[in-house]
Amino acid sequence: MRIRLRRRPLRIETPRFRLRTMTRRQVARASFHWTTDEAVMHAIQTKAGGWLLRRWRRRFPRCDNRASFCFGIWTRSDDQFVGYHIIQLQRGKVAFIGIVIGDTNWWGKGAAAETRSALVDYLFEAKGVDRVWGTPFARNFPSVYNYQRLNFTYEGTLRRHARSDFAQGADVLVFALLREEWLASRKTLKSSGASQ
Amino acid sequence: MSDKRLAAVEMIAGALGCAPSDVPPDGTVATVPGWDSLGHVKILLTLETELGRLLTPGEIAAIRGVMDIDRILASADAARETSSIIAPPGRA
């Protein structure tokens, strides 16, 4: 018999948001309405429209809250679901991260920086990670901005590395942050408002 | 402040819809008011229009402040000058 370990959701709070772990099914359902939004889908190099919930769900990793996490983002003021972070813990104390802010009302308002800042804290402090990295699409300027805003270091470009519905493979940038870099920059970031 | 630095400041101010005096020459994504993720999109698209080409992934990753844009504008100018020197007469 296969026993499934059910883990209690993890919760993190920031000044404006609540983050809570979700299952793959939950995040797929909560975000499914974004699949018809051209702007959101274009940002992740995917065509809008024509999605089935089952197919959409397959895009998400199975989240066991041990090595693989999906943190949903809700506003504290009115409990609106605005996006999600995906985190995958890898060998060698490394965490791979990704984010989608699907509620376009929150674009340009620091939601990604504020919540990512809290998650990076969680990864370095609670999970004992030494390196956090992510690979935004090169043409996804807001996503690139959010890595730069938190002082991630650009490590290189992976050419035509990612699947794209609009091109023959999309270039992605590699950004990473080491524990000591985070500790050194955290104070500055807090005073400049990136982590609110 | 060099002319190009001034051009970078004016370009950023134009993209963000603020006064050039609000954009310090050593300003960065963390310090220039209004330089948020959407402002970043406006700045990079304006820069691409100015250059007449798409930014390379390396350039996109390198833009963290006014000085980085200044550098890209300066190297684009240098490239233009070089091509006008080596182009045959009448085709510059």
| Coarse DSSP helix, strand, coil percentages of chain A, rounded to the nearest 5 percent | 35, 30, 35
Mutation to test the B interface, candidates A42, A115, A148, A166, most B Cβ within 10 Å = A148
Looking at residue B28, the DSSP 8-state letter turns out to be: B
Q: How buried is residue A187: exposed, middle or buried, by Cβ count under 10 Å (0-12/13-18/19+)?
A: exposed
ipTM of the complex: 0.84
pLDDT tens digits, chain B, 92 residues: what are they? 556 568 899 999 999 999 999 999 999 999 999 999 999 999 999 999 999 999 999 999 999 999 999 999 998 877 777 766 666 666 55
- The pTM for the full model equals 0.88
User: Cα A20 to the chain's mean position, in Å?
Assistant: 13
What band does A167 get if pLDDT is binned at 50, 70 and 90?
A: confident
DSSP state of A169: S
Q: For residue range A82-132, list pLDDT tens digits in order.
A: 999 999 999 999 999 999 999 999 999 999 999 999 999 999 999 999 999
Contact between A196 and A109 under an 8 Å Cβ cutoff? The reply is: no
Paired with A183 in beta bridges are none
CB < 8 Å & 24+ apart, contacts of B83-89: none
**Which of B30, B41, B64 lies closest to A142 in CB terms?**
B41
Query: A171 — contact with chain B (CB < 8 Å)?
Result: yes
